[in-house]
Structure formats: structure tokens, C-alpha cells
Amino acid sequence: MRVLINAFACSPYRGSEAAVGWNIPRELAHLHEVTVLCGDLRAERPNWTDLTSYGLDRVPFRVAYVAPTRFISLLERLHRLPGCWILYYAAYNLWQRRAYRKARELQAEKPFDVVHQLNMIGYREPGYLWKLAVPFVWGPVGGAPNAPGAFLRLFTGTGRLKVGLRTLLNEVQKRLCLRARRAAKRARKIWAVTAADEEMIRSVWGRACTRMLEVGTDSTLPGTVHHLAPGEVLRIVWSGVHTSRKALPVLLHALARLPKGVVHVDILGEGPETVAWQKLAHRLGVEGALAWIGKKPRNEALDKMREAHVLACPSIKEASSVVVIEALSLGLPVVCHDACGMGTLVTETCGVKIPLRDPETSIAGFADALRRLLNRPEQVAALSRGALERAKGLTWAAKAAEISRGYEESAEGLKSADNADGHGRGAGYPCNPCKSVDKIVREKSADNADGHGKGAGYPCNPCQSVDKIDREKSADDADGHGRGTGYPCNPCKSVDKMESADNTDRHG
């Protein structure tokens, strides 16, 4: 089966969205003929750099790279200015339009059987692949949950404003993002990351969906059982971009409630909240228990995780978090909130989950969880064994197999729908073939009344003069479409009608 996947972020070296965009197509390439649309917004082109560094000849799928324009890169740079973060979404949308144009070119060269919108996983930007006359699948889809308002007091002024505004926009976009609704309506299969995402898709968009975590375990990571000796310092690792929703202050406040000298925390990553968090650590008197490691290459970050006894992940708005899945693969127990994708990933056999209600509940919960591990060090080894066992059922290969079944169901569903009318969908039928045949039958009756039979090369009214047909062909060619043997109607009119109904700007 020929599959086109829109995976904007795709890298063999990085985590998060880039890991999703790399690992799922990599596993699907064992099952299908896969082409991946990927790209960048930044002028430095990190995704392209990673792929070429890895070696395009080693990549198991076809790479269709879509480069950013100078304007897109300019918007990406400007979004880093205070209050301009929304420009990122403008840049990303422009890239998606370019990706759609590339997809149309690829589809014209050799049609695909299924197209898949993979990442970024947020529902706000569904891309434009759903406008192609090909079975469309979408997901895993995330982004519906909101950060609880009670946590705003833990954020800095900028972080509080950003999270509050994002929450407001999230509720508006869920209901008013018409393009996302249209994409969902056209999708033959939708996967949702969390219970909140599933609820949005079912209740707001009125579509059925299936739950699926977007991350998978890496079977190449050598996991081991971690042990904590009695009286040994509990080594904790925290990893992520330093933004408000990652909620590191929850852990810092929890550390302040523990005796000094019993824990050590390695903090990986960097971001806009780094300085504010360092100042908070100083005010709480816990800076001596912390090591600010900074942003490191993935291999170095994994090495630092291997040195730890437990991963602390206090995020309050997350999908499933690649760092959590990596921790499980390494045999590292996880302390996290019982929310988002983490609430599904982590079980009582491999970690400790804290209810996500308010800051006091979270701070007390994290402090109690760490205190219990210190008082019962044998629990670290027990949870570590559980983490390794849990990781076995969450592999990328298993996830790809499930997605592949979705592809087959979508393609089979299209075939069944066509056959219900007695017509199979041929490669050249971009429109509904049943409507085309009905029109032909009606025109054939009118033609026969004039004494004309339907010519094999003229699926539309053959009474039209050859000059008129030539003029229509010229009009088609002016739009970049020749009249192919499989186009029973004017393909430009078909595409124009489809696109104008979906988007008056005719993106692509």
C-alpha cells in the first residue's frame, strides 16, 4: 500500500514530536511503501540537517522535504519576542500549505492509497492532506486538555499570561476551528491521545475515534534494574523544555519539604523559564540539591537518565511525553500526575501518580512519593522491574501495526462504499464515481435520442463539437491539469469545487 505521511517534525536524533515523526514512519516502512512530508520553520533547518547527517540512503522511507521560505523563517524568529508566540502558528500554517502543494505533485506522479496527518499532533493544525481525493486518517490527535487554572499562581507573569490566554483560545478553537472540523469529517480513522481529546472529538466534532498514545518505547535502549541502597542519596532526573506547563516549581516546592542532603536532582533542558526557576530554587533554599545540566544531545541526556533512580515529571499539560516513555525503556520509575498521556503510560507497577487538582495537592503528593522511596528503598528496584515490563507492551512496532490496520480499514471502507453502488474506485476517479456514472447514463439517453452513441473516449456528452472539447482541454491545461483518461468530468472544476467549499483562499 502506498502511504503519504505528513510528519513535519522528523529526526532520528531528537525526542518529542521529532521522535514520533521518525519512529512511526520507520516502523510502517516495514509494512508499506511510505513517503514522508517533513520540513522546518527555522532557517537552520534542524530536521533536514539531522536527516542528511543520518544519511538519506539509510532512511527506510522516501523523504519529501519541504523547505521553509524566508518569510516563514522570519515569522518563526519573531515568535520568540515577548507576546508574539502566536506567530509560530502562522508560520506553521504557511508551511502546511506548501506541504499540500508538494503532496498534490506527488499524488499526480503516482497516486497514494492512504494519506496520514501525523504531526504536529495538536488538533489546531490538521494540515491540508484531507483535501486530496484519497482516504485520509488523522492522529494521534492531542491538545484538548487545559492546564488547571489553580496552577497559574505558580507561574511567572509572562507564563501566567501565556497559559491563561492559551486556555481561553483552546476552548474557542475547539468549537470554532472549522478546518479542523472539516478534516475530522473527511477522516476515515481518527486516533486520540487522551480521554479529554477523545471527548472533544466525539462531543464537539461528532466523530468516532480510538485512543492511542503517540509515543512508543525504543527496543534498542538497554534497560536495567535500578537499585537504591539504604541511606543512599536518591538521584532524581527532570527533563524537558523550561516552559510553564512543565511545572518544575511543583518539584522544587516538594524538595523544600524533604530533609536536606537526601536527594539530588539533575535538571536537563533550557527555556524561557530557566532563570525564574533558578531564582525560585534559591528562595526555597534547595539550590544545593540541584544540578542545572542544560540542553544536551539525546544520547548524553539518556546517559544522565541512566544515572538516576527515578524520573520526576510534574507536567500539568502534556500529551504522553517522550521522556516518560524513554524512562520506562531504561527501567526508570516515574513520579508524575495522574493526567494527560502520562496517566495512561504509568501504572502502579512502574511509578507513582499524583492527582492533578491544585498546587498544594501536587506538591504534597510529590513530597510524599519521594519520602516513601527514601523510607523503603527496595521499592525503587520493584518499580524499576515494573517499568521494564511496561515498556515491552508499548513498542513503536506495536503502534505501527495498529496504525497499519487503520490504513487497511480505511482503504477497504472506501472500496466497500464504492462497491455498494456497483462501482469500484479506479485510479482516475477523483470525484464520486457513482455520480459520474449516473450523469453518463442520463446523458447517454439524451444522446441516443439524437442518434449519437457514446464514444469510448468521451465520457461526457459526445454531441459537443471537437472544437469545444479542445477549448475545455486548453482551459484545463491553463490550470495545470491535462484531461487524463480517468477524469470523466472536468478535473479543474472538480478540484475547484472541493477546495472552494473547504476554503475560500484555495490553499495549496
pLDDT in tens, 63-76: 999 999 999 999 99
Does residue 499 surpass a pLDDT of 80?
Answer: no
Q: What is the pLDDT of residues 266-280, one digit of tens each?
A: 999 999 899 999 999
Please provide the average confidence, as pLDDT, over all residues in the chain: 83
Least confident among 190-204, 359-373, 400-414, 475-489: 475-489
In whole angstroms, what is the distance from residue 112 CA to residue 193 CA?
Answer: 26
**Mean pLDDT, to the nearest integer, of 14-20?**
88
> Percent of the chain at pLDDT above 90?
63
Cell of 309: 533512580
In whole angstroms, what is the distance from residue 339 CA to residue 345 CA?
Answer: 10
Confidence band (pLDDT; 50, 70, 90) for 174? confident
> Percent of the chain at pLDDT above 70?
81
Task: Please give the single-letter amino acid code of residue 251.
Answer: L
Angle at 171 between CA 91 and CA 207, to 5 degrees: 90
Give the predicted TM-score (pTM) of the model. Answer: 0.72
Among the four given CATH numbers 3.40.50.2000, 3.40.640.10, 3.30.2020.30, 2.70.50.30, the one describing domain 234-392: 3.40.50.2000
Domain spans in the chain, listed from the N-terminal domain onward: 2-142+177-215, 234-392, 428-502
**Mean pLDDT, to the nearest integer, of 114-134?**
95
In whole angstroms, what is the distance from residue 45 CA to residue 51 CA?
Answer: 10
**Mean pLDDT, to the nearest integer, of 31-51?**
97
**What does the pLDDT read at residue 415?**
60
Does residue 501 surpass a pLDDT of 50?
Answer: no
In whole angstroms, what is the distance from residue 316 CA to residue 13 CA?
Answer: 26
Grid-cell match 539518556, residue found: 302
Straight-line distance from the first to the last Cα atom of the chain, in angstroms, rounded to the nearest whole number = 25
Among the four given CATH numbers 1.10.1040.10, 3.40.50.1360, 3.40.50.2000, 3.30.1490.20, the one describing domain 2-142+177-215: 3.40.50.2000
Q: How many CB atoms lie within 10 A of CB 252?
A: 26
Q: Which residue has the higher pLDDT, 427 or 373?
A: 373
Distance of CA 279 to the CA centre of its chain: 34
The reply to whether 2-142+177-215 and 234-392 are identical in fold is yes
Q: What is the pLDDT of residues 231-266, one digit of tens each?
A: 999 999 999 999 888 999 999 999 999 999 999 999
